[in-house]
Chains A and B, each alone.
Chain A
Amino acid sequence: MNLLEASVLPVAAEGIYTWAWLMIALPALGAAILLLGGKATDAWGHWLGTLMPIASFAVAAGLFGTMLGADEGERAVDLHLWTWIASGNWTISFGMQIDQLSILFALLITGVGSLIHIYSIGYMAHDDRRRRFFAYLNLFIAAMLTLVLANNYLALFLGWEGVGLASYLLIGFWQHKNSAAVAAKKAFVVNRVGDLGLSMAVFTMLAQFGSSSFVDVNNGAPHLSSTWATLLGFFLLLAACGKSAQVPLQSWLLDAMEGPTPVSALIHAATMVTAGVYLVVRSHAIYEQAPTAQLAVAIVGTVTLLFGAWIGTSKDDIKKVLAGSTMSQIGYMMLAAGLGPIGAAFAIFHLLTHGFFKANMFLGAGSVMHGMNDDVDMRHYGALRKAMPWTFLTFAMGYLAIIGFPFTAGFYSKDHIIEAAFEKSPVFGSLALLGAFVTAFYMTRLMMMTFFGDKRWLPGVHPHESPVSMTGPLVVLATLSIVAGAAMNNWIQDWLAPATGHHPHEASLLHFSGIGLLTMAVVALGVALGWYVFKGTIPSQVPATRNVFAIAGRNDLYGDAFNEAVFMRPGQHLVKGLAAADDQLVDGAVMGGAGAVAGLSTLVRKVQNGYVRSYGLTMVGGALLVGAILILGRMA
């Protein structure tokens, strides 16, 4: 508990830390120049766009180095930038909190972001709106850094909405395709539901603590009534579900694959979709006061990890398999975050390794699509390992990492989560183990269908290796997919302890616990099953099946059907009813009133007939009336 309390009092920024704002400002400036500069920047826009995240990465690396050298008590730094809102009793400042947690995120975002920018130079080379693409990517980097570096929930919300906007712009980047435009809209609308949760959470914090800064919230949380803590936990969980595509707000992520592949790698695999995990880990003080909400986080994570894996087994679109896999892996992170202090550090650990290997695989998928004339159907692939050796090798590293092959990144991060889940409850543990089995199965299926077996290429497709600007980042990410786990394994738990809560947990490099061995056996079983089922000829048409599991998986487990039946149709009926009420009741009253006045005036108009004598009679009648009233009034 002492460590916890030490963590919530960051020291004031000085020295290099006072330049931390550059991390956000540089990409934001890049986006502004590229968007405002218009066509004048077409020629060099992508170079500027790539330079900005690299510069941000340099700043982040400098800060990280400084932080490594500092004492543990002085690592968390608060940088006040300006007073954002000052109104009455409210003073909300805009500042950055650079601590052990946020600096890792900053490194991941700018590091993987830079690699993806470099990759995009090659990938988007033939797109005449490339400059705009880089502007949006820079906007995304700036917003994402605001999200993770903010020192209060309101500034975090600003970044949260910023990444939502960037995600919308980039999913719908090929706006000439109706499917892309619809997918962008869907992502935006589903995210609004989660945003509602976050805004309710911020309102609750402002009402309960009078402040939304992490320091005040962490200090105030222990004094919160259990009702409010639980409510707050559920609000934050709703927000996390929306942004991280967790059940029940998962439906947008599969459609989001309509965006260009670097976008899927950066936003919908490595960074933005993990913002929900960040939010939950950052709010650990609240979840400690709300065991119910914490349990709900773990349940949501477990359900999603199975849900995503199930979808991954049934899709033929390579990007949708990876999207299902992303959902599933984020499910693992949410599960870990919901386990409390024993899992929180591993949630971040898995988040980082997942950021590497999933970005690697998405970019690999993009490289495959690049060679296959943008075909995404794995039934048209096959035998690509010879045509695209670099892509194959790098993809294989990502594959080994995600299934948890010994000593790769996923082996360390995922097995820790499974062990921690078993420590919490055998139910979570065995379900996480089942997820590992399914993961091994569907990833083997993807490898077999894409890189092995017979050529099933469509006529006119000549697969070729991608340019160096694309394979270079793949090699870097593939290397990280292998070594990042071992590199961070012994270190990350102690490093993150001040930010996530401390819990000693055996995490040695060569430690093989019973559960670890069991996991390896299960994974081997999944790989063997995947190899056995998909080693033969793969039909190039989707085979008809009566298997209810396959049918449900192909239909995204009916997430869209559920949303349509439960939310969309009743909503449409309500709106139709309201429109009818407007047409008939409101318009009826207004038009009826107008008609009555018009009819009355037609009648009254007849009095004005142009005959002077009739006017005179009216006057006399009026005068008599007034006289009569006066006389009667006098008498009364």
Chain B
Amino acid sequence: MNLNYYIVLSAILFTLGVMGFLLRRNAIVAFMSIELMLNAANLAMVTFALAHGSLDGQIAAFFVMIVAAAEVVVGLAIIVTIFRTRRSASVDEANLLKF
């Protein structure tokens, strides 16, 4: 089994996530892109754990999943609140995050 395929897949997924986060305006889609990046990272860590024969990467992947779950809760709540107040989930309209 060639582990390179997994790494390449992980890289493709991560790049997709990055591009989605940077290019899409919809907050929900941007959020999903972030999840995609997290999972690409998980895939890479699990693959390396397999390659090295240790469990460290697998455990780290669990941690990432937990953090991601918590993040989803907070993030989705923020997005819903923004949508309620602005009737829009476009990230380009919420530009208050500055000096």
Contact = CB atoms under 8 A, between A and B. Distances in A.
Interface of A: 605, 608-613, 615-617, 620
B99 A611 contact: no
B22 A609 contact: no
B99 A613 contact: no
B97 A620 contact: no
Nearest to B91: A612
Given A616-B21, A617-B22, A611 B96 contact: no
Given A612-B94, A613-B92, 14 more contacts: A605-B99, A608-B98, A608-B99, A609-B98, A610-B96, A610-B97, A610-B98, A611-B91, A611-B92, A612-B97, A613-B21, A613-B30, A613-B91, A620-B22
B75 to A, nearest CB: 12
B18 interface: yes
A612 B21 CA distance: 10
A321 to B, nearest CB: 79
Interface in B48-99: 91-92, 94-99
Secondary structure type dominating chain A contacts: helix
Given A616-B21, A617-B22, A620-B18, A610 B95 contact: yes
Nearest to A624: B18
A609 B96 CA distance: 8
Contacts of A615: 97
B29 to A, nearest CB: 12
Contacts of B30: 612-613
A613 to B, nearest CB: 6
Contact of A616 (B22, B96, B98, B99): B22
A596 B35 CA distance: 43
Nearest to B95: A610
Contacts of A612: 30, 91, 94, 97
B41 to A, nearest CB: 12
B55 to A, nearest CB: 26
A620 B14 CA distance: 12
A621 to B, nearest CB: 10
A608 B96 CA distance: 10
B68 to A, nearest CB: 17
Contacts of B95: 609-611
- Of the four ranges (under 10, 10 to 19, 20 to 34, 35 or more), the interface on chain B belongs to 10 to 19
Contacts of A616: 21-22
A609 B92 CA distance: 11
Contacts of B94: 612
A613 B22 CA distance: 5
14 contacts: A605-B99, A608-B98, A609-B98, A610-B95, A610-B97, A612-B30, A612-B94, A612-B97, A613-B21, A613-B22, A613-B30, A613-B92, A615-B97, A617-B22
Contacts of B98: 608-610
The 5 closest A-B pairs by CB, nearest first: A610-B95, A610-B98, A608-B98, A612-B91, A610-B97
Contacts of B97: 610, 612, 615
A609 B98 CA distance: 6
Interface string B18-37: 10011000000010000000
Contacts of A617: 22
A326 to B, nearest CB: 76
A288 to B, nearest CB: 81
A620 B23 CA distance: 13
A603 to B, nearest CB: 13
A247 B92 CA distance: 87
Contacts of B22: 613, 616-617, 620
Contacts of B96: 610
A335 B30 CA distance: 102
Interface centre among B30, B91, B98 (most CB of A within 10 A): B98
Contacts of A609: 95, 98
A343 B94 CA distance: 101
A617 B98 CA distance: 15
A616 B95 CA distance: 13
Contacts of B92: 611, 613
Nearest to A623: B18
A613 B19 CA distance: 10
A133 to B, nearest CB: 68
A605 B99 CA distance: 8
A304 B26 CA distance: 100
B6 to A, nearest CB: 19
B12 to A, nearest CB: 16
B16 to A, nearest CB: 13
B92 to A, nearest CB: 6
A616 B37 CA distance: 13
Contacts of A613: 21-22, 30, 91-92
A19 to B, nearest CB: 80
Contacts of A605: 99
Contacts of A620: 18, 22
A613 B30 CA distance: 9
Contacts of A608: 98-99
A94 to B, nearest CB: 66
Contacts of B18: 620
Nearest to B94: A612
A172 B11 CA distance: 91
B28 to A, nearest CB: 13
Contacts of B21: 613, 616
A470 B46 CA distance: 114
A608 B92 CA distance: 14
A472 to B, nearest CB: 86
Interface centre among A609, A612, A617 (most CB of B within 10 A): A612
A328 B30 CA distance: 101
A298 to B, nearest CB: 80
A610 B91 CA distance: 10
A194 B96 CA distance: 72
A615 B91 CA distance: 12
A608 to B, nearest CB: 5
Interface centre among A605, A608, A616, A620 (most CB of B within 10 A): A616
A609 B99 CA distance: 8
Nearest to A611: B95
A534 to B, nearest CB: 89
Interface centre among A605, A610, A615, A617 (most CB of B within 10 A): A610
A471 B22 CA distance: 107
A617 B30 CA distance: 13
A92 B98 CA distance: 69
A583 B27 CA distance: 55
